[in-house]
Structure 1
Amino acid sequence: MPNRPRAGELLVARADALGGYWHQAVILLLDSDESGSLGVILNRFSETDLADVLPHWQHLVCPPQVLFEGGPVSPAGAVCVAKLSATGEEPPGWRRFHADLGLLHLDTPVELAAGAYADLRIFAGYCGWEPGQLEGELMRGDWHRVPVRDEDVFGVDPQDLWRRVLRRQGGDLSFFSTWAEDPESN
């Protein structure tokens, strides 16, 4: 695929194509190459309380200070997305995937993370695609690929993220931001 998906892009579920688990999902791609793709869902809270599983990290995550459901793969594992406070030297345990966004290893001592990041969010599990799988879903039109903004990843109101991201795209995509659950209302 000449225009391969890239880390740092958003995948926004098509309004009428993906029901159930993927309904109105907004996914941040963390990696995408010939071995497959992975990302985290930005707009779904986990039923697990962050204080119960990672209590030392709760004070470092941005509001709302909850654990997010990153996806169906490895739901007992955690993925941390962090934005650097300042450009320059990369802190220990952090790996850049797009601009000043990166993955922070949660084995990093909390004391080293404090102050190093402007924003931090933790996800239970992730979304994964085997080689060619995401490209096939994109060719079918199951997802819209759009640029990411910091407020998409770290915003305080992720529940309405799907509509906000579509609305700001303009053109035909913004039309879908008004999608109603009842097909007769559309």
Structure 2
Amino acid sequence: MLAIGRPGGNGAMSFISLQRLSAIASAILLPATLHAALPTPAEAPERSFLTGQLLIASPSMGDPRFLQTVILMVQHDRNGALGIVINRPVGDRPLARLLEALGEKDPGVAGTVRILAGGPVQPDIGFVLHSADYHRPDTVEIDGHVAMTSSREILRDIANQRGPKKSLIAFGYAGWAPGQLEGEIAHGFWFTTPQDENLVFDDNRDDLWDHAMKRRTQDL
């Protein structure tokens, strides 16, 4: 798993590639990919982990790919960590175009979905973050308010008004090796704050880092 927080690589190219909608949509929402990416759950926690919390890049962040980023921690334990950047918007895309790229053309579908650049690891794989009112067998429950689903069926449900009340699609993710995130926090590269559903799904992505910074802590 590629670890973030290290200089190098071309994060900008990953973000630009997300705009090739027809290309990336064909790779969206693969359950096997999601579960392979998640760290293997530890049998018993040994410390306070950050699953469900927000990770906020501090002003001293040295990696330009993660300047002023806010990351929703999907999973964190002694085997590693995985999170989704939630304040790197690519834009809103017509839901009908996403479904068409998946071979499910439906002229009656209306509306748009929000697309984010979720991180530099596997930037052509999509994940849907959504409110916890929606659940499928492959849904990852992050906490009682936010979940993540990695099946194409969720797009069909959103299109047919059977999906979650709130959702966004992120391509790519951020990952850490065991103990790496703890070290980066100790060096002052990240702050943390409890997850807030309003922040995760806020329409205003531009000010999200500022709002999260006002709530920050630094203790792990």
TM bucket, shorter chain: 0.7 to 0.9
Q: CA deviation at 1:60?
A: 6.9
1:22 corresponds to: 66
2:85 corresponds to: 41
Q: Letter of the aligned partner of 1:98 in structure 2?
A: D
Matched, 1:136 2:183: yes
Work out whether residues 45 and 67 of structure 1, in 8 Å CA contact, stay in contact via their aligned partners in 2: yes
1:46-125 matched pairs, under 5 angstroms: 46=90, 50-51=93-94, 55-56=98-99, 65-85=113-133, 90-108=135-153, 110-113=155-158, 114-125=161-172
Distance 1:70 1:53 in 2: 22
Give a deviation string over 1:92-148, Cα, whole Å, max 9, x none: 442212113111123225344533411111101000001111111011111001111
2:195 is matched with which residue: 130, 135, 148? 148
Q: CA deviation at 1:67?
A: 1.2
Distance 1:161 1:93 in 2: 29
TM-score norm. by structure 1 comes to 0.75
Distance 1:53 1:67 in 2: 14
Work out whether residues 91 and 116 of structure 1, in 8 Å CA contact, stay in contact via their aligned partners in 2: no
Work out whether residues 74 and 125 of structure 1, in 8 Å CA contact, stay in contact via their aligned partners in 2: yes
Distance 2:165 2:213 in 1: 26
Find runs of 4+ consecutive structure 1 residues off by over 6 angstroms.
none
Query: Gaps (5+ residues) in structure 2?
Result: 1-44, 101-108
Q: Could you say what secondary structure the match of 2:182 adopts?
A: helix
Distance 1:93 1:27 in 2: 22
Give a deviation string over 1:4-33, Cα, whole Å, max 9, x none: 332110111111233411110100000112
1:177 corresponds to: none
Q: Letter of the aligned partner of 1:150 in structure 2?
A: E
Q: Letter of the aligned partner of 2:145 in structure 1?
A: D
Range that drifts further, 52-61 or 138-147: 52-61
Identity among equivalent positions (%) equals 26
Q: Could you say what secondary structure the match of 2:206 adopts?
A: helix
Q: Could you say what secondary structure the match of 1:24 adopts?
A: coil
2:214 corresponds to: 167
Q: Could you say what secondary structure the match of 2:90 adopts?
A: coil
Distance 2:119 2:54 in 1: 14
TM-score norm. by structure 2 comes to 0.64
Work out whether residues 121 and 174 of structure 2, in 8 Å CA contact, stay in contact via their aligned partners in 1: yes
Count of residue pairs brought into register by the alignment = 164
Q: Letter of the aligned partner of 1:17 in structure 2?
A: M
Distance 1:123 1:117 in 2: 16
